[in-house]
Structure formats: structure tokens, C-alpha cells
Amino acid sequence: MSRHVLHGQPGWGSVIVEAQLAALGLPFDFVEVGNLFESEEARRTLGRVNPLAQVPALVLPDGTLMTESAAITLHLAEATGRDDFVPPPGHAARPSFLRWLVFLVANVYPTFTYADEPSRFVPGNEEAAKAFAQQVDAYRCRLWQMVAPAAGAPWFLGGRFSALDLYVATMTHWRPGRPWFDSNAPALAAIAEGVKGDARFRTVWQRNFPRDFAAAA
């Protein structure tokens, strides 16, 4: 059977796609790209696949390149004819799913692009770059506080699991960090715990977030 090729990095956004490929039973090879913030070679190498040098970058079995995790999520649902991660057209939860999927990728996710390496956007002034990053980090917290009231239980859409839960479970590992979510957005923290304990994703989660399991051992 033809295989997908996922370019990614453990603990980064590629885990959202990796978890879907694994749960859907789609054969894939994982290409670890390295630290794109620290290695010019890593950026240059990935740039030959994805000019933005960002993950995830998924090469489909026919050689077509897909980037953007939301686009990949919707494609995998269509390609497999399964609704494990995307409510199908006509489903009552689909409007909310689409709203919050786009909100996460269009609003929350870009804050990491700007604040993870602020000198790209505020060059030549270390203090100004630091202040910029702090403002972006604070803005991200405000965005999460907009998301949190919409979260259901046990999953974001209530009783129905979706890719939104993978986004939440992944992104709560990043700034502002899990203690912040525990205190300020406990519904999102609970979703993250639920994904961590889901047998469908255990192997993927252990590989991407080994510290979660080391702490529990």
C-alpha cells in the first residue's frame, strides 16, 4: 500500500496530523526535521518541501504536498470517508467544529509564529523584541479565554470526539503551559488529559510528549 510521508518534529504541531494518520490506520513514514528555530540546515532542508519551513508538511501517496493542519484534517476525513475527527456535513456539531478549527489555526496558532522567535519581526532591538513577545504571549492567553467557555465535556464538542481535542491536547503543552490551563481553563486541561489517556493515541503521545508519562510513572 502507498504511504504518506509526514515531515514533523516531536512535540510540535505535526503531532496533530500524526495522531490522525495513526488512528485512521493510514501507513506513513515520519521524517524528523530537527529544531527549525536553532538549525539553519533544518530550515533549508524542510524549505525544499515546504517553502515556509513549517510543520506539518504531508506528502500524499500520489506525491501531492499538503501543508496547513486544518486543510490536512479536512482532507483526511474526505479521503477516508470517515468521521472520526470531522463531523460530517449536516451534523449538528459541524458549524461549531469549523468555527473553532479555523479560530485555533487563524488566531491562536500564529501567536507562536510571532513570539517563538520575535527577532524575525522586531530585528535589531533585543529589548523591543522581548517586549513584543510578551505582548503576543499575553494576547494568546486572552484568546484561550475566548475558547475555554465554548469547550464541552468530555470533549470540546461534548460527547463527540473531534480533531479539536487533538489541537487542545497538543497546544496546552506550549506557552502559557499546563499549569496556566489547570488554573484558568480547566475544561481545556481536562480535554488534554482525556486525549493523553485515549488508547488510540497512546503510542503517538508517548513519542511526542514522553515527559507526560515519565511524570506519571
The DSSP-derived string for 187-214 is HHHHHHHHHHT-GGGHHHHHHH-HHHHH
Q: Which CATH number, 3.50.50.60, 3.40.30.10, 3.30.1240.10, 2.70.70.10, labels domain 4-80?
A: 3.40.30.10
What count of Cα atoms within 13 Å lies in the side-chain half-sphere of residue 19? 33
Of 167, 7, 148, 25, nearest to 86 by C-alpha is 167
Distance CA 165, CA 155 (A): 6
pLDDT over 90 (residue 73): yes
Helix (H, G, I), strand (E, B) or coil at 8: strand
Look-up of cell digits 475566548: 146
Q: Give the predicted TM-score (pTM) of the model.
A: 0.96
Q: Residue 62 has what pLDDT?
A: 97
pLDDT over 90 (residue 1): no
Fold of 94-216: Glutathione S-transferase Yfyf (Class Pi); Chain A, domain 2 (1.20.1050)
What number of other Cβ atoms are within 10 A of residue 161's Cβ?
Answer: 20
146-182 residue pLDDT tens: 999 999 999 999 999 999 999 999 999 999 999 999 9
Helix (H, G, I), strand (E, B) or coil at 72: helix
What number of other Cβ atoms are within 10 A of residue 70's Cβ?
Answer: 17
Give kind and range of the element (H or E) at residue 31. strand 28-32
